[in-house]
């Protein structure tokens, strides 16, 4: 690998371990993780329940810090940063999606997306153009004025994607984003990921149990007991 290749990684994870205190002892949940996440790619983390996928995703997004090892996001050392520094980068440069959609129930689709622009400190003059664009990217222009309860699960997840990418993050992290959706809806969400990767040059990293989705990935890492399996 050349030095140039190294510079291209959006996220560079080396020798990461994570343990949690449990009943006076430390339980090791991640046990030596090395991986790279590249811009413009869809990366999947697969593995059994309890293998450490969510724990790893949280470290990738700066929601937590490793016990040992390095997590570099765009060259910056997350493993050494304070909570305040991490929060700032997260708000501006990373988007998150969860299994349960996490939309605000009293706000319309439009207002939910707009809220993330407000949170990221984007100038108000840019909001309406950007909200319209994001809802268009996820195919929900016609549902802009609906509240979450007036949308299907798949539509809610697509609003959540629009919300997560509105502030133009470099990285979109999604923990089991299709777990509550049927096959057709899940496929639609995967199409949306592909669309935004191409339209916005963003990197997507998601966890999933669903073997039918693995083919849609550019890179798949399998986690087994807190390690990345070979191959």
Q: Which residues bind ligand ATP (CB under 6 A)?
A: 20, 22, 27, 29, 47, 49-55
E-strand ranges in 7-156 read 9-22, 25-38, 42-47, 68-73, 76-77, 94-97
- Would you state the structure tokens that stand for residue 33, as one six-digit string? 């993780």
Q: 226 in the Ramachandran plot: left (φ > 0), alpha (ψ -120 to 50) or beta? A: left
**CA–CA distance, 30 with 16 (Å, rounded to integer):** 7
Residue 22: which of Mg ion, ligand ATP, none does it interact with, CB under 5 to 8 A by kind? ligand ATP
Cβ 179 to Mg ion shortest distance, Å: 9
Residue 178 interacts with Mg ion (CB under 5 A): yes or no: no
- The distance of closest approach from Cβ of residue 71 to ligand ATP in the complex, given in angstroms and rounded to an integer, is 15
Q: What's the closest the beta carbon of residue 64 comes to ligand ATP, in angstroms?
A: 9
Nearer to ligand ATP, 20 or 201 (CB): 20
Name the closest residue to Mg ion (Cβ): 54
Q: What tokens appear for 216 in the block? A: 């849609």
The CA-atom distances, in angstroms, between 41 and each of 172, 195, 230 are 11, 11, 20
Burial-class residue 51 by CB neighbours within 10 Å (0-12, 13-18, 19+): buried
Rule CB under 5 A: is residue 54 a binding residue for Mg ion?
yes
Residue among 46 and 130 whose Cβ is closer to ligand ATP: 46
Q: Is 55 in the site for Mg ion (CB under 5 A)?
A: no
Q: Which does 112 bind (CB under 5 to 8 A by kind): Mg ion, ligand ATP, none?
A: none
Shortest spacing between CB 55 and Mg ion, in angstroms: 8
62 binds, among ligand ATP, Mg ion, none (CB under 5 to 8 A by kind): none
Give how far the C-alpha of residue 108 lies from the chain's centroid of Cα atoms, to the nearest Å.
22
d(CA 153, CA 174): 16
Cβ of residue 57: shortest distance to ligand ATP, in angstroms? 8
Q: Choose between 99 and 195: whose C-beta lies nearer to ligand ATP.
A: 99
**Least distance to ligand ATP, CB of residue 47, Å:** 6
Residue 51 touches which of Mg ion, ligand ATP, none (Cβ within 5-8 Å per kind): ligand ATP
DSSP sequence for 180-200: TS-HHHHHHHHHHHHHHHHHH
Binding positions for Mg ion, rule: CB under 5 A: 53-54
């Amino acid at each position: 690998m050349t030095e140039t290749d190294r510079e291209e990684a959006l996220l560079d994870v080396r020798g990461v371990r994570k343990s949690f205190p449990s009943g006076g002892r430390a339980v090791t949940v991640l046990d030596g993780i090395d991986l790279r996440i590249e811009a413009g790619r869809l990366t999947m983390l697969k593995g059994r329940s309890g293998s450490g996928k969510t724990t790893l995703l949280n470290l990738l997004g700066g929601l937590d810090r490793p016990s040992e090892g390095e997590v570099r996001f765009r060259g910056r050392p997350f493993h050494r940063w304070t909570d305040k520094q991490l929060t700032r980068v997260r708000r501006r440069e990373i988007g998150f999606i969860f299994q349960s959609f996490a939309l605000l129930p009293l706000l319309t689709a439009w207002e939910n997306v707009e809220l993330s622009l407000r949170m990221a400190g984007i100038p108000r003059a840019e909001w309406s153009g950007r909200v319209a664009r994001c809802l268009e990217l996820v195919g929900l222009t016609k549902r802009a004025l609906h509240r979450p309860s007036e949308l299907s699960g798949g539509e809610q997840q697509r609003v959540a994607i629009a919300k997560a990418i509105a502030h133009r993050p470099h990285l979109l992290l999604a923990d089991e984003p299709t777990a509550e959706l049927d096959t057709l809806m899940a496929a639609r969400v995967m199409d949306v990921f592909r669309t935004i990767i191409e339209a916005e040059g963003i990197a997507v990293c998601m966890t999933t149990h669903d073997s039918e989705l693995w083919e849609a990935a550019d890179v798949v890492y399998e986690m087994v007991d807190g390690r990345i399996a070979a191959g």
